[in-house]
């Protein structure tokens, strides 16, 4: 069974992140239950933030708005400067990616930050993206 | 009252030779891993803590950012924290 447009968007986010220099399957994650160690940092986690609205746009066509969080985990000081060096190329790659653009329109939302003391400062810069896309009302795997 | 003899804590086999700013002393290094939750994702960190005499810390002039060797490993001091009555200090370290 084909995956939903939502899942295709999330998978494409991760695939784009893996194209950045220094990133790959070892430090780009979707859902992750085991802890991120310093050895795999910096790391990017693509996290589904949930849907916000679904609206009927035409007969049999729905417009969806979902949030995809790109969380950038870094270790060191100043941690936000380290995260910025990843945020810039990641954002550029996401916005320039043709397959992702074919799936959804992306809107960058205000970012969130969190840092804690660790053996090296552990910081995470999370950029929420609103993804807007259309599906058939009766089949969320197909864009009209 | 009794006279404190802190050296008894730092003469055992567990105590490591330490050097900071050219001053040598002994300390006990603990390296527990700790899990931090950040944006719903667990991050693992080794929390290096060196326990030593506060008088040695003062003699070595150790402050946040100081370079220190414990055994043969190099670290940087993050925090200098007095414990209990202040005779013992915990140094949190970065490797």
| Alpha-carbon dihedral A48, A49, A52, A53, rounded to 10 degrees | 0
- Mutation site for B-interface testing, chosen from A119, A123, A128 by largest number of B Cβ within 10 Å: A119
Out of A36, A116, A119, the one facing B41 most closely (by C-beta) is: A36
With 60 as the cut, is the pLDDT of residue B1 above it?
no
pLDDT at B76: 95
pLDDT at A32: 77
SS3 track for chain A: CCCCHHHHHHHHHHHHHHCCCCCCCCCEECCCCCCECHHHCCEEEEEEEEEEEEEEEECCEEEEEEEEEEEEEEECCCHHHHHHHHHHHHHHHHHHCHHHHHHCEEEECCCEEEEECCCCCEEEEEEEEEEEEEEECCECCCCC
Tens of pLDDT, residues B58-75:
999 999 999 999 999 999
**Average pLDDT per run of 10 along chain A, which is 144 residues long?**
94 98 95 85 95 91 97 95 98 98 97 90 96 96 91
pLDDT at B10: 87
- Mutation site for B-interface testing, chosen from A29, A118, A120 by largest number of B Cβ within 10 Å: A118
Give yes or no for a contact between B93 and B68, defined as CB atoms under 8 angstroms apart.
Answer: yes
* B73: helix, strand or coil: strand
Tens of pLDDT, residues B14-52:
899 999 999 999 999 999 999 998 888 899 999 999 999
B46 and chain A: CB distance < 8 Å anywhere? yes
pLDDT at B2: 66
- Chain A residues within 8 Å of chain B (Cβ atoms): 32-38, 45, 47, 69, 71, 73, 112, 114, 116-120, 122, 124, 126
């Amino acid at each position: 069974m084909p995956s939903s447009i939502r899942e295709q968007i999330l998978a494409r986010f991760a695939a784009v992140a893996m194209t950045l220099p220094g990133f790959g399957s070892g430090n780009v994650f979707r859902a992750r239950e085991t802890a991120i160690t310093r050895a795999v940092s910096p790391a990017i986690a693509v996290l589904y933030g949930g849907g916000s609205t679904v609206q009927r746009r035409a007969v049999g066509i729905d417009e969806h708005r979902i949030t995809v969080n790109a969380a950038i985990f870094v270790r060191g000081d100043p941690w936000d400067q380290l995260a910025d060096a990843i945020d810039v190329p990641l954002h550029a790659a996401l916005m320039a990616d043709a397959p992702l653009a074919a799936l959804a329109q992306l809107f960058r939302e205000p970012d969130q930050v969190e840092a804690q003391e660790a053996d090296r400062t552990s910081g995470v810069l999370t950029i929420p993206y609103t993804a807007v896309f259309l599906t058939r009302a009766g089949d969320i795997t197909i864009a009209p | 009252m009794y006279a404190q003899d802190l050296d008894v804590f730092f003469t055992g086999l567990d105590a490591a030779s330490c050097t900071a700013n050219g001053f040598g002393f002994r300390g006990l290094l603990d390296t527990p891993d700790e899990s931090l939750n950040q944006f719903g994702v667990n991050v693992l960190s080794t929390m290096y803590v060196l326990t030593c005499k506060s008088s040695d810390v003062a003699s070595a002039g150790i402050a946040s950012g100081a370079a220190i060797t414990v055994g043969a490993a190099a670290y940087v001091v993050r925090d200098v924290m007095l414990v209990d009555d202040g005779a013992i200090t915990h140094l949190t370290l970065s490797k």
